[in-house]
Amino acid sequence: MSSVHTEVRPGVHTAGPASLHAGLVRRNPGEPEFHQATLEVLETLAPVLAARPEFVEARVLERLCEPERQIIFRVPWQDDSGAIHINRGFRVEFNSALGPYKGGLRFHASVNLGIVKFLGFEQIFKNSLTGLNIGGGKGGSDFDPHGKSDAEVMRFCQSFMTELHRHLGEHTDVPAGDIGVGGREIGYLFGQYRRITNRWEAGVLTGKGLQWGGSRARTEATGYGNVLFTQEMLKRRGEELDGQQVVVSGSGNVAIHTIEKAQALGAQVLTCSDSGGYVVDEKGIDLALLRQIKEVERGRVGEYAERRGLSATYVPGGRVWDVACDVALPSATQNELDADAARILIRHGVKAVSEGANMPTAPEAVALLKEAGVAFGPGKAANAGGVATSALEMRQNSSREAWTFERTEAELAAIMRGIHDTCAETAERFGRPGDYVAGANIAGFERVAEAMLDQGLI
């Protein structure tokens, strides 16, 4: 990574991205995901820092990389047999220059402070790119809701919110769902918040039930948004998604709605996966069957192949990236697409890769894809549809309105087109045409940095 050289006032201490990142690693040991996320951003900001020395003088980068607040707390709860368990809860309120902190809660055994910080840092840029007034934050717990009864999940959520509620508010911090946190968990969390505060503050959580303040199209938004972003990348190259062969990883909410939207736009989606392996279906994924298995029965994708027939094959322990395709949409978890997978995709002639999950493509893989001329949509831009629709839910809550699915989807489509165009135009403005990573990082950074300057040294 090269250092940035700018003319600044005498006596003003500045640090280039390389030394800044080295300092971040020292101050945040044992947090590789956070190190990776910050490095990916810092490596692309040299042109804007050279052009805008006021950002360097005000040490905006140093301030941006340090969360405004990090909250860690104990979450005690009882299971159905009466046994007591202790989990750890997190909320990292990273940056509120553009609006209240906004970002999901993740309940998964892998959750730790470094994971939450990486997600929260990404969220700053993602939320900025939407053009809406929302800051960046993230939270969660190392609690795993899988295999727990509804009563156990409720008791955990109530204990979690008993501590977290003091840090939330529709003008302060507005969480949503993420991995392991769906409608059930949001309901329990909101119920406890209401019980403690004696306020019907619908805008304090998003992803709510439609009968009590939720937004139509919120469930679909992340997957739909990534497909819409991919469509725009292909259009810029003179192509359409219609007729393309697509591989999708995962089989959760994001993957299912990615498959749904891609099929609606005429693509043939060949794969889905879970932690056990993947399915490839020559006829294209039967979405109704996949939904029955994953959403209703909470089963495994191996069962899909058993029930689908001869067109489907289950590959235990395999990766969808081995399947030849035109478009790849990683929609499961971080760093699932590594350098070896990228080489296979390139060898098969992939045209576009776009991230439905958060940071699912390893840095080495991103470099290989860009070098090969593959259109690459980074998650902070491509999967921003979910948080954008959460912000639309907040807007509806503020005005006590409930929009139709069609209106919400139209708003989502306009936002995703805007994000794509902003990234593409910013990349061109800084001499990096076609580089959506640089475009997303710079555009997201500029908006936040300008707000931080306007608001003084805080």
253 is in an annotated binding site: yes
Q: Could you tell me if 86 and 229 lie in one domain?
A: no
Q: Are residues 152 and 243 in the same domain?
A: no
Averaged pLDDT of the chain: 94
Of the pLDDT bands very low, low, confident and very high (cuts 50, 70, 90), residue 121 is very high
Whether 163 and 74 map to the same domain: the answer is: yes
Percent of the chain whose predicted confidence (pLDDT) is above 90:
94
Element (H, E) at 118: helix 113-129
- Residue 455: inside a domain: no
* CA distance to 29, 73, 129, 156, 198, per residue, from 205 (Å): 32, 19, 21, 17, 15
Total of domains in the chain: 3
Shared domain check, 76 and 57: no
| Phi, psi (rounded to 5 degrees) for 124 | -55, -50
Closest CA to 330 of 228, 246, 231, 249: 249
Residues 287 and 259 in one domain: yes
Q: Which pLDDT tens digit goes with each residue over 219-238?
A: 999 999 999 999 999 999 99
- pLDDT band at residue 19, thresholds of 50, 70 and 90? confident
Q: Active site residue: 138, 208, 294, 370, which one?
A: 138
Q: Is 138 a catalytic residue?
A: yes
**Does 261 show up as a binding residue in the annotation?**
no
390 is in an annotated binding site: yes
Does residue 293 surpass a pLDDT of 60?
A: yes
For strand 327-329 and strand 84-95, is the pairing parallel, antiparallel, or unpaired? unpaired
Does 249 share its domain with 371?
yes
What is the C-alpha to C-alpha distance for residues 451 and 212, in angstroms, rounded to an integer? 33
Does the residue 82 lie in any domain?
yes
DSSP summary character for residue 3? P
Strand order in the sheet with 271-274: 271-274, 277-281, 312-316
Co-location of 82 and 114 in the same domain:
yes
| pTM score over 0.85 | yes
Q: How confident is the model at residue 15 (pLDDT cuts 50, 70, 90)?
A: low
Q: Is 335 left (phi over 0), alpha (psi -120 to 50) or beta?
A: left
Q: Is 177 labelled a binding residue?
A: yes
Confidence band for 13, pLDDT divided at 50, 70 and 90: very low
pLDDT at 9 over 80: no
- Residue 221, SS3? helix
| Whether residue 225 sits in one domain with residue 313 | yes
- Who contacts 184 (Cβ-Cβ below 8 Å, separation ≥6)? 150, 153
Taking residue 372's Cβ as centre, other Cβ atoms within 10 Å add up to: 15
| Residue 38, φ and ψ in degrees, nearest 5 | -70, -40
How far, in whole angstroms, is CA 401 from its chain's centroid?
26
Tens of pLDDT, residues 193-214: 999 999 999 999 999 999 999 9
The CATH number assigned to the domain holding 178 equals 3.40.50.10860
CA distances to 4, 52, 56 from 7, in Å: 10, 10, 9
Strand-pairing partners, residue 281, are 312
